Copies of this chain bind each other. A is one copy, B any other.
Amino acid sequence: MAQSDVPVSAAAAGSLAEEFAVPSHVEEVKKVMSEFAEQHEAAGRRVVLITSGGTKVPLESRTVRFLDNFSSGRRGASSAEYFLDSGYAVIFLHRHRSLYPYTRLYTGINLLDSLKFEPGDEDTSRVLLNKKELPNIVTVLKRYQAVKAAGLLLPVEFNTLSEYLHLLKAAAQALSSIGSKAMFYLAAAVSDFYIPASEMPEHKIQSSNGPLQISMKMVPKMLRPLVKDWAPKAFVISFKLETDPSILLERARRALDTYNHQVVVANILDTRRGYVVVVTKNSQQELSLTDEEVQKEIEIEDKIVRNLLAAHTHFMSQ
């Protein structure tokens, strides 16, 4: 289905609402994204839409069970910080409770373990943070507050596959007005499969009925209508994650041929934190971290973003 032309485009562009329930707030969010993009474009900034985290696919309509994709949202959240450092305004379309820019650095830490109560009366008693428990907290807090005060980061949440698909479409339409100044950095781990609402059992599947057979349909590829119809002038990056290195580059090239976008960032599950290949129609460039860089806690996303920043500049000048 990924290779055939008509059904994919039709399903994604036309009948998305037939197969996937429309979230009630999608028009409102679209308006907010539109205003965000126009305001920052007027101020001379580029705007990147980052998708991040995995999607949930319900197996029952009153959902107890669901299919999920591996993704903490680490890559999306850290990339957002580097894009902000590079002067971009960022729309962060992320899975509810996936990692978030800046706070991601303290995710494993139990907040209550790093607080200290300093007694006093109602007004003078205070709760202090033990700075040693939270590395670089002062620097990170200042940067977070500066980004927030400047209104450079617009967070939008999704949970299910349906919400993701509709919000991505809305974002693409919202950003089309700023043309080539828009970048799409599609790092979310989106399910390839789903169960159509019409084939879904209403109630929790009973285990006493015996072993479970699940039959799932393929999710329409959004990349084609995004590139072709919704935001045709934008600079678009997709990600390809595989576990088998031998098929990675071929899959990346095939995606570029199929969807006609600008860049695929290809990576392997086991090495994704230290190695990627940035693939375009006529180039491929390996990015990796040296041992020294790993020790200095330099992140691969720093290099990815720097590479794409240059490519985006070149793209805009064409």
Q: How far is the CA of A131 from the CA of B212 in the complex (A)?
A: 49
| 8 A Cβ contacts from A70-118 to B | 70, 100, 102-103, 106, 110-112, 115, 117
Q: Establish whether residues A207 and B189, one from each chain, have CB atoms under 8 Å apart when the complex forms.
A: no
Interface residues of A in 93-151 (CB under 8 A from B): 100, 102-103, 106, 110-112, 115, 117, 125-129, 131, 137-138, 140-142, 144-145
A6 within 8 A of B: no
Q: Does chain B have a CB within 8 A of A14? A: no
Number of interface residues of A (CB under 8 A): 63
| Contact call A204/B243, Cβ cutoff below 8 A | yes
Cβ contacts under 8 Å, A191 to chain B = 65
Copies of the protein in its oligomer:
2
In this complex, the member of A100, A115, A212 whose beta carbon has the largest number of chain B beta carbons within 10 angstroms is A212
A60 within 8 A of B: yes
* Per-position binary interface string of chain A over residues 199-219, scored 1 when its CB falls under 8 Å from any chain B CB and 0 otherwise: 000111101101111111111
Structural contact, A137 and B127, CB atoms closer than 8 A: yes
B112 touches A210 (CB 8 A): no
Contact A242 B211 (CB under 8 A): no
**Is A244 an interface residue, CB under 8 A from the partner?**
yes
Would you call B128 and A142 a contact (CB within 8 A)? Answer: no
Which of B117, B215, B241 touches A138 (beta carbons < 8 Å)?
B117
- A64 proximal to B (CB < 8 A): yes
Q: Which residues of chain B are within 8 angstroms of A142 by Cβ–Cβ distance?
A: 117
Q: In the complex, are the beta carbons of B137 and A131 less than 8 A apart? A: no
Please report A residues at the B interface, Cβ cutoff 8 Å: 1-3, 56, 59-60, 62-70, 100, 102-103, 106, 110-112, 115, 117, 125-129, 131, 137-138, 140-142, 144-145, 189, 191-193, 202-205, 207-208, 210-219, 241-244, 269-270
A-B contact pairs, 8 of them (CB 8 A): A1-B208, A59-B67, A62-B269, A115-B129, A117-B142, A193-B207, A207-B219, A213-B213
